[in-house]
Chains A and B, each alone.
Chain A
C-alpha cells in the first residue's frame, strides 16, 4: 500500500510535468519556438489558482476560496494572457528573439513574485491551498488526485493531438520547417506563432495550477529555472520533441530516473550520499548528451503523415 502511494506521488508529479512538456511541445516541437521562460507561465497559473482557491489571508491578495474547477482554467487563462503580449511583441521578428524575451520575462515574473508582497505574500508564500479530494483521507484522496491529474493530462494530450493533426497544426509545422513556403501559400507565420505560443503557455499554466494544489503551498522557492524550465526541456528532448506521446513519456521517464537515482543514492553510506547528490545532477546532464548524440529524435521521434 505504501509503495503504491509512493508510486502515486511520483506519477502525480510526472503528470504535472507532462502538462508542462505538452505545452512546450506545442511551442517548440510543433512550431519551433524557443521558449526558455516556462517558469513565467507556470508561475502565472500556479499563483492565479492558488490565490483563487486559498482561504482569505492578510499576507496576500484575496484568498477567494473558489473551487478548483473554476480556479484551474483561470490559471491557464492567466498564463495565456501573460503569453499574448510577450509573443505579440517578440514573434514579429525572428524566433531567436523569443528565447531572449522569454528568459527576460521569466526573471521579471520570478522577481515580481518574490517582491510584491501584497499580491503574492512575497517570500512567505501562500499557505492553505486546498487540494481537490483531500477530504477523502490518506490513501483515497491521494489516488483521486492522481486520477484528476491524469485526466487533466489526458485532456491536454487529446487537445494537443487534435491540434497537431488539424490543418492548423500542419500550418504550424509548415512555419517551423519552411517559413517562406508557408508565406507563399498565404499563411501568416507571425500570427500562427503567437497562437501556438499562447496555447502552449495555457498548458503550462494549468500544470502550474495542478502543482500549487498538490503542494498545498506556493512560494518563490518552488520557481527555479533549473527545475521548472530546463528540466522540462530535458523531458521533451528525451521523450521526442514534435510527438505528444513522446512529451508525456519523457516526463514520466525522467521522473522515474530521477526517483530511481534518489533511491539508489540513499542506499549509499553517509558521506557518499552527499556526493551522490551531485553525481545525480551530472548523470542527468550526461543522459541528455547521450540521447542527443545517439538518438537526436528522442525516445519516440516525430511521426508525420501516418500519425499512428
Chain B
C-alpha cells in the first residue's frame, strides 16, 4: 500500500515535472498561421516561385531569430487563386473562415485583390497585404483600413517614366501596352505625365497577350507621327519579347522605353544587347537604402541560389511578410483588428529604423514597448492613408548587355 502510494506520488511528480516544460514548450512551439493567396497556377504562375521564396525567406529569418510574441513560429497557409477571381474568393473564404488566419499576404493580381477584398476580407475585417497589385482603383476601395500593399501604385511609376523620357530628349513616343489593368493604368499615367512635360504621344495601342506576331500593330504605330521611341508596357513571356523582336527585325523602332514588367535579363538575352542599346525604363521599389537592400539580396541568394532577388515584386513580398510579422509583434496578439491597427505604425516613422534581417532587434524594441520603423528591401514602405506603400522609383538602363540601376527617384 505504502509502496503503491509512493509509486503513485513519484509517478505524479514525474508526470508533472515532465508536463511542465512540455506544456511551456508547446505554448512556444504552437505555430502561428498567417495566410497567403498566390497565383500558383494560371496566367501569373511564372512569377510565383521567387515571390514565395521571398515570403519564406522573411518567415524563416524571423523563426530563426526567435519567432513572434512569446517565441511562436510563423507558419504560412498558402492558397492558389489560379489567377481567377472566382477561385480567389473561394480560397480567401477558406483562409479567413476555416483556417482563421489573422492576416493575409496577397492576392497578386489587382482584379483578384479587389474581388477578394470586397467579397471576403473587408466584411470579415481581415487585413490583406498585396505585394504586387498595382491598380490605382485599390486605393479607392472603401476598405475600413484593411487593404494594404507593398507594391507602388502604377500612377507614380507612369508619372516618373513620362518625366524621364522627356528629359532624355524624346519628344515623340508611341505607346504599346498590354490590355489589362496594369497596362492601361500605366499607359494613361505615362501619357499624362509625358504630355505635361511637353512630349507628344504619336499613337497608342493596347495589345492582346500571346499572339504569334505583333507586326501589324507595330507597323501602325511606327507609321503615325514619326515617333522616336516605343514605350512598351508588357511582360516578357506573354508578348513583350515578341514585340521587341518584331520591332527590331523589321526596323520599326530602334529605341525602347520599358517598365518593371520587362526589367528582366532574359529579355536582353532573347533580343540581343546590341539591339537594346540606349533602352531605359523604370521599376517601382527596388530602391531601398543600399545596405538594407544588400542584406536582403545576400540572404535571398544564400537561401535560393537559382532565383532572382530583384525579380518582379519579390522584395515587396519579403517586405509584406516582414511588416505582417512586425504588426503581430506590436499588437501583442495574433488578432485581426489589432494587427490592422498596428500595420501603419511599424512601417512608418516615428520609431527606430529596422530593416531586413533585424528581427531580433525589432522584437526587443517592440517587447520593451518601443516603436519601430521598418525600412524594407523594396523601399521605405510607410503605408499612407489609403494603405499604399510610399514609393521610390528606380530608373534603369541597358548598357553592355546588362541591366543597371541609374538612379532612384522619389515622389
Which residues of A are interface residues toward B (Cβ below 8 A)? 2-3, 5-6, 9-10, 13, 111, 114-115, 122-125, 127-128, 134, 138, 141-142, 211, 214-217, 219, 221-222, 224, 227, 258-259, 262-263, 265-266, 270, 273-274, 276-278, 281
B41 and A10 within 8 A (CB): no
Determine the main DSSP class of B at the interface with A: helix
Of A114, A141, A215, A258, which is within 8 A of B89 by CB? A215
Counting chain A CB atoms within 10 Å of each CB, the highest count among B48, B77, B85 belongs to: B85
Q: Is there an interface contact between B123 and A138, defined as CB atoms closer than 8 Å?
A: yes
5 contacts across the A-B interface (CB closer than 8 A): A3-B98, A123-B180, A124-B137, A227-B87, A262-B80
Closest chain-B Cβ to A252's Cβ sits at a distance in Å of: 14
Cα separation A211 to B84 with both chains bound (whole Å) = 14
Distance (whole angstroms) from the CB of B395 to the closest CB of chain A: 27
Which residues of chain B from 35 to 89 have any CB-CB distance to chain A below 8 Å in the complex?
A: 40-41, 48-49, 52, 56, 76-80, 82-87, 89
Residue in contact with A115 in the complex, picked from B77, B124, B181, B206, CB distance below 8 Å? B206
Known contacts A13-B86, A125-B111, A270-B56: A2-B100 contact under CB 8 Å: yes
User: What is the CA–CA distance of A124 and B180 in the complex, to the nearest angstrom?
Assistant: 8
With both chains docked as a complex, state the minimum distance between the C-beta of A245 and any C-beta of chain B, in angstroms: 24
Is the interface on chain B under 10, 10 to 19, 20 to 34, or 35 or more residues? 35 or more
The CA-CA distance from A6 to B92 in the complex, in Å, is 10
Q: List B residues 183-228 near A (Cβ within 8 Å).
A: 183-185, 206, 208
Taking CB atoms and an 8 Å cut-off, the chain B residues in 294-313 that contact chain A are: none
Q: A6-B97, A127-B141 are in contact. Are A142 and B184 (CB under 8 A)?
A: no
Is A215's CB under 8 angstroms from B87's CB? no
Most chain B beta-carbon contacts within 10 A, residue among A10, A221, A266, A277: A221
Q: Are A277 and B84 in contact (CB under 8 A)?
A: no
Looking at chain A's contact residues, the main secondary structure is: helix
Does B361 touch A at the CB level, under 8 Å?
no
Contact yes or no, B98 A2, CB < 8 A = yes
Q: How far is the CB of A228 from chain B (nearest CB, A)?
A: 8
B181 touching A262, Cβ below 8 Å = no
A-B pairs with lowest CB-CB distance, top 3: A6-B97, A216-B118, A9-B93
Contacts of B48 in A (CB 8 A): 274
Contact indicator B181/A123 (Cβ below 8 Å): yes
- B216-251 vs A, CB cutoff 8 Å, 1 = contact: the mask equals 000000000000000000000000000000000000
In the assembled complex, B156 has its CB within 8 A of some CB on chain A: no
Bound Cα distance from A9 to B116, whole angstroms: 12
Given contact pairs A124-B184, A266-B94, enumerate 20 new A-B contacts (beta carbons under 8 Å): A5-B97, A6-B93, A6-B94, A9-B120, A10-B90, A13-B89, A123-B181, A125-B137, A138-B124, A214-B119, A217-B111, A221-B84, A221-B111, A222-B85, A224-B84, A262-B94, A263-B94, A263-B98, A266-B78, A277-B80
Verify if B115 is at the interface (C-beta below 8 Å from A).
Answer: yes
Cα of A280 to Cα of B111 in the assembled complex, Å: 23
Task: Check: B173 CB closer than 8 A to any chain A CB.
Answer: no
- Which residue of A114, A141, A273 is within 8 Å of B78 (Cβ)? A273
Given A124-B181, A217-B114, A221-B112, check contact A274 B40 (CB 8 Å): yes
- Contacting residues, chain B, for A266 (C-beta < 8 A): 77-79, 94, 99
- Is there contact, CB below 8 Å, between A217 and B85? yes
Pick the contact of B179: A10, A115, A222 (CB < 8 A).
A115
When distances are taken between beta carbons in the complex, the residues of chain B under 8 Å from A278 are 41
B152, CB-defined interface residue at 8 Å: no
